[in-house]
Chain A
Amino acid sequence: MKDFATLFTRIDESTKTTVKTAALADYFQTATPEDRLWTIALFAGRRPKRTITATRLRAWAAEVAGLPDWLFEESYSIVGDLAETIALVLPPATESQDQTLAHWIGYIKTLSTLEDDDRKAGILTAWNSLPNTERFLFTKLLTGGFRIGVSAKLITRALAKATGQDEPQLTHKLMGNWTPDTTTWEALIEADDPTADLSRPYPFYLAYGLDGFDDLGPPTDWNAERKWDGIRGQLIIRGGEHHLWSRGEDLMTDRFPEFAQLRDYLPDGTVIDGEVLAFANETPLSFNALQKRIGRKTVPKKLLTEAPVILMAYDLLEHQGHDIRETPLKDRRDILQTLITYVPKTAPLRLSVSVPFQTWDDLSTARDQSREFNAEGLMLKRRDSPYLAGRKRGDWWKWKIDPLTIDAVMIYAQAGHGRRANLFTDYTFAVRHGNDLVPFTKAYSGLTDKEFREITAWVRKNTLQRFGPVRQVPPEHVFEIAFEGIQESPRHKSGVALRFPRMLRWRRDKPVDEANTLDDLKELLATYG
């Protein structure tokens, strides 16, 4: 695993894309085919099955390091990564061995078939025979994802460099339902078989935020749609099967069984880009309704009726088995519309209709109505544009509504972890209620590094009380908190829960007695909840 560790270190140490690409390309030319495939899989988040629970690993590591469990946990909360914590606290390795990445993955698989004591012995042996980085990586294989700042784009670029193939072609090859156990480097990368995987999705086209109308040309060049607030999804119907992919390349087919019936109404060789929405009485429900369905692998009947979903169709990518992404958007939409007219209203598919407008001012008015539709804003798409892969400027723009905001008082602070281990970055905020302060949300993003440093220094000097890692601070600082939605929540003291809260700015100009009140918050709930 030395070469994999070297690759990891080269990538991890650099902030430069060229260096990372070169490191990957070198590796793709020298490592064993099996190791290359595993590396792609790991960096793309396809980790091997977890065979040993994190609880066990922590207990064993603490035991080997001679630490009480609470101290291990304390360390973990600072480091923010279990594998790294384990690698750091363990005593130095006394043995050494150099095996391939695939060997260690096989080793882990074998362990899963053993009794607990033997598994433990196996892990301890491995820990004791790997130097620091390799030990960290081995433990990472046991605990989960390899998020190390390598995007899918970067992997594709490196693969293109190493194999001489086109990037778009490789991007498509890498999508879909493969694992290193079900395919080989030869079959996935080298072989030229476009029908190899019927479930394979197209890369999603993603939009940038709109930064003005000046460069857009005439409004007639553009199609506007609601930006629906659900889960972006790609529905694939091929070979009599259907598959639903999320933008994060998660296969969500089983989570939304209602889409199975669309096989009866849509022709084979159809791929639709759309938004999975909770939907009833021809109206989109709020994201909260959909939330109940997320994260569930299977769905009980009751939930199917409580939170029914549809696919709100934006675009058609494949028609009659042909990739039509190069066809202009307006033509793709025409075909999509025709397809949908053959689908009965009882089936969970709707066209995301265009928002009519003549001028940009009309559009601005339409955007202001977004919340009434439970939408996040508008999407602008150039009528003659192809369907591109990834986040690209020029043809698609998102124009989101402004978030809801409230001015709140910071009352607790907690150190972050990982990248922010020595900074106080996680704060609890309260609104005023008579002479009391009622906590209602936490937030930990939105400030600059400089502001975080300033607050960290202030927290250190102004701690009133400690509750474990949490510090109570005097209610002196007011922050404007932005959020996307608000809902009733009996679990919270304030009675509300916010969606995606973050700090918009530090209101140094505002004294605490001008912060918003619980009544203000309740009013927002009544209006937008």
Chain B
Amino acid sequence: MADVLTFTDRGIYCPAGDFYIDPWKPVDRALITHGHSDHARNGMGHYLATIGTAPVMRHRLGEITLETIAYGQERQIGDARVSFHPAGHVPGSAQIRVAVKGQVWVVSGDYKTVADGLSEPFEPVTCHAFITECTFGLPIFKWTPEDILTQQINDWWAANAAAGRTSILGAYALGKAQRLLTTVNPDIGPILTHGAIENTNAVLRGQGVSLPDTTLVTREITHKTHPGALVLATPSALGTTWARRFGPSSTAFASGWMALRGVRRRRAADRGFIVSDHADWEGLNTAIKATGATKIFATHGYTSAFQKWLTSQGYDAHIVSTDYQGEGFDQADEAEA
């Protein structure tokens, strides 16, 4: 039996429907799981994405031919039947289900299994083959429960505010930043945002996502105009002259990598909050099990270890080479702007 999807140097390809999923080189027809720059790229002839992903794609990719689809809605493309299902990664993010002649394959894109209070929660989709990320595919990664995390961030912010320090929190512009916004307690003080984050906020507010009030950091805004503020910035903005205007401050990063003391120390931030929009070890294993799939492809992350682990658990597991980056803590994220 022919494979429903194949792995090419342009991206994940479906021969039956003649389309690509999250391609990294220009193709005619691209199905997009979510709006992060390593999944939704420029130069495709025709895009298909969820209603929730479309605004941010238009914002970032400009003039594109983009069709939208609702979660769960089925569509026939050539000999393939496709549908999009919540991936819980960022608002609008989807897993893409592709069925050809009774064979069902699912591309996860990026996903997480815990509900973040913002993204549509992850839904397991039964399939024969599951193409999964494994950015954090090692048992050392266990995320802090949401309630404790919220407590940690609020405590940190409140302590800084009381000591006259600005709290500067580094987080990705799309997804992580908004997720943090919805969990922090806005009564502690004003919330300021870096331009890249505020742009994304505007896009999400425009599509009906409810976020607390935020103020874009402009030239005249400093710790004097906004004492005790929480500043949400992209990770690359921390430690720059931009960040210096806030006077005495405490810096923190919010990332899954913060689980590792070494990484935390390399970034030289005062605090690290262990939070990710990717699944942790437990999440990956639970998600894979829930699909009922026997064939698994690992696309990006700790692929070799994860493939070996899955094989030892009885799966027919493979590694595929892609251009996806997961939560690379060191790549500059200007693409998120």
Residues of A near any B CB (own CB < 8 A): 12-15, 65, 67-68, 70-72, 74-75, 78-81, 84-85, 88-89, 149, 417-423, 449, 452-453, 456-457, 460-461, 463, 466, 468-469
Contacts and interface: CB of A to CB of B under 8 A. Distances in A.
B140 A78 contact: yes
6 contacts: A78-B260, A419-B266, A420-B262, A421-B263, A423-B330, A463-B321
A154 B312 CA distance: 49
A80 B262 contact: yes
Given A84-B261, A420-B262, A421-B262, A13 B271 contact: yes
A461 B322 CA distance: 8
A79 B260 contact: yes
A72 B281 CA distance: 13
Contacts of A88: 139-142, 259
B104 to A, nearest CB: 29
A423 B266 CA distance: 11
Given A456-B330, A468-B304, A65 B139 contact: yes
A179 to B, nearest CB: 27
B316 interface: no
B246 interface: no
B243 interface: no
B189 interface: no
A74 B305 contact: yes
Given A423-B330, A466-B304, A78 B266 contact: no
Pick the 5 closest A-B CB pairs, nearest first.
Answer: A418-B262, A419-B262, A419-B266, A88-B140, A74-B305
A453 B261 contact: no
B270 A13 contact: yes
B326 to A, nearest CB: 10
Nearest to A15: B268
A421 B305 CA distance: 15
Given A71-B309, A75-B138, A422-B257, 9 more contacts: A15-B268, A15-B270, A71-B138, A71-B139, A78-B138, A84-B260, A418-B262, A460-B325, A463-B321
Q: Which of B138, B266, B268 has the most CB of A within 10 A?
A: B138
B140 A79 contact: yes
Interface in B88-124: none
A374 B141 CA distance: 49
B73 interface: no
Given A420-B262, A422-B328, A422-B329, A89 B139 contact: yes
B270 A12 contact: no
Nearest to A14: B270
Contacts of B266: 419-420
Contacts of A85: 140
Interface string B278-322: 000000000000000000000000101100110010000000010
B163 to A, nearest CB: 12
B331 A457 contact: yes
A374 B328 CA distance: 46
B323 interface: yes
A422 B325 CA distance: 11
**Majority secondary structure, A binding face:** helix
A135 to B, nearest CB: 13
A78 B302 contact: yes
Contacts of A79: 140, 260, 262
Contacts of A417: 262
Nearest to A19: B270
B224 interface: no
Contacts of A15: 268, 270
B265 interface: yes
Contacts of A452: 330
A417 B259 CA distance: 14
B138 A74 contact: yes
Interface string B160-179: 00000000000000000000
B254 to A, nearest CB: 15
B98 to A, nearest CB: 26
Contacts of A74: 138, 302, 305
Q: Which of B262, B321, B323, B329 has the most CB of A within 10 A?
A: B262
A85 B139 CA distance: 9
Nearest to B141: A88
A78 B137 CA distance: 12
A423 B323 CA distance: 16
A422 B263 contact: yes
Interface in B136-155: 138-142
Contacts of B332: 453
Interface in B238-264: 257, 259-263
A472 to B, nearest CB: 13
A89 B140 contact: yes
Given A13-B271, A81-B262, A419-B262, A67 B139 contact: yes
A419 B262 CA distance: 4
A419 B265 contact: yes
A469 B305 CA distance: 9
A22 to B, nearest CB: 13
A71 B262 contact: no
Nearest to B259: A88
Interface in B46-101: none
Contacts of B257: 421-422
Contacts of A456: 330
A421 B260 contact: yes
B140 to A, nearest CB: 4
Given A14-B270, A71-B305, A419-B266, A81 B330 contact: no
B260 A453 contact: no
A422 B257 CA distance: 9
A425 to B, nearest CB: 11
Nearest to A457: B331
Contacts of B138: 71, 74-75, 78
Interface in B207-256: none
A419 B263 contact: yes
Nearest to A88: B140
A419 B263 CA distance: 5
Contacts of B140: 75, 78-79, 85, 88-89
Contact of B265 (A12, A466, A468): A12
Nearest to A460: B325
Contacts of B141: 88
Contacts of B323: 461
A113 to B, nearest CB: 32
Given A78-B140, A85-B140, A453 B270 contact: no
A500 B260 CA distance: 28
Nearest to A415: B302
A29 to B, nearest CB: 21
Contacts of A68: 309, 312
A461 B328 CA distance: 14
Contacts of A421: 257, 260, 262-263
B261 A81 contact: yes
A250 to B, nearest CB: 26
B283 to A, nearest CB: 15
A10 to B, nearest CB: 10
Nearest to A466: B304
Contacts of A460: 325
Nearest to B265: A419
Given A13-B270, A81-B262, A422-B329, A75 B312 contact: no
Contacts of A72: 139
Contacts of B305: 71, 74-75
B262 A75 contact: no
